[in-house]
Structure 1
């Protein structure tokens, strides 16, 4: 665990670099917490065996996840991708977004045994963003870059 960090919902969230004070990163980190909590609800609901409750919990988790990943890709990732040092990492994170969508569809199709995989991969993905990409973006991006990322995120 990095120095001066604390545990949140099973993941490490840095508190030493201050990147969460950047509006976009703070928003994404808050959304991460909500999404992980909803994924936990999905996991707990699956134990009940109630198919409708599982479907509702999955809808809730995915209903928060997809707009979040879309916003990351549309704004922050688009700006960071221009830097060759970030291109491969951004491609990996986008592939992980796609993988989470695929797992959600498989779960929706009745493969409840994949719920633990979904939750695990979600948490691993969030860890890469919060403890890798976000602090790096805070260092790399200028004020103009952040403004552009915000504009791109809001664009229709």
Structure 2
């Protein structure tokens, strides 16, 4: 989590960063379930990650990403983050379906993705967006689950 620029003090960014922590913690539960070899525990833990991940990525894409996408210099970066959201969903579904060999890839990619947001896009948004932009982000971002 970024702690150097203060972007977490922006309400929606602070929310997304807190959700990142919850998702990483849920991924740890998933790792322990996979290590236990209990298929039902893996399914439940996978569902727990998905229940946090899906509303989170939707909120990012509908809110912050849609406003930032208007600035050409962020379009490619946001497109790549959205593609990572899709890839993470696919990896998680594979783990849930029994492809436990994909767990390390999922967790690695999840952490890398979060780092790109927490230490890249979020601080950039604090600089690039102004008051009316943030008001719009707040208005269009779906509420936390």
TM-score by length of 1: 0.89
Report the alpha carbon displacement of residue 14 of structure 1 after superposing the two structures with TM: 2.3
Q: Say how many residue pairs are matched.
A: 143
Task: Tell me, in whole angstroms, the C-alpha distance in 2 between the residues paired with 1:145 and 1:135.
Answer: 15
Single out whichever of 113-122 and 146-155 deviates more from structure 2: 146-155
1:133 aligns with 2:121: yes
Report the alpha carbon displacement of residue 108 of structure 1 after superposing the two structures with TM: 2.1
Report the alpha carbon displacement of residue 16 of structure 1 after superposing the two structures with TM: 1.7
| Residue matched to 2:106 | 118
| Residue matched to 1:87 | 75
| Residue matched to 2:91 | 103
Report the alpha carbon displacement of residue 26 of structure 1 after superposing the two structures with TM: 0.2
| Residue matched to 2:21 | 33
| Residue matched to 1:143 | 131
Task: Tell me, in whole angstroms, the C-alpha distance in 2 between the residues paired with 1:151 and 1:14.
Answer: 24
Report the alpha carbon displacement of residue 154 of structure 1 after superposing the two structures with TM: 3.1
1:55 aligns with 2:43: yes
Single out whichever of 113-122 and 90-99 deviates more from structure 2: 113-122
| Residue matched to 1:7 | none
SS in 2 for 1:154: coil
| Residue matched to 1:6 | none
Report the alpha carbon displacement of residue 106 of structure 1 after superposing the two structures with TM: 1.2
| Residue matched to 1:24 | 12
RMSD: 1.0
Task: Tell me, in whole angstroms, the C-alpha distance in 1 between the residues paired with 2:54 and 2:97.
Answer: 18
Task: Tell me, in whole angstroms, the C-alpha distance in 2 between the residues paired with 1:16 and 1:111.
Answer: 38
Gaps of 5+ in 1: 1-12
Runs in 1 of length 4+ with deviation above 2 angstroms? Answer: none
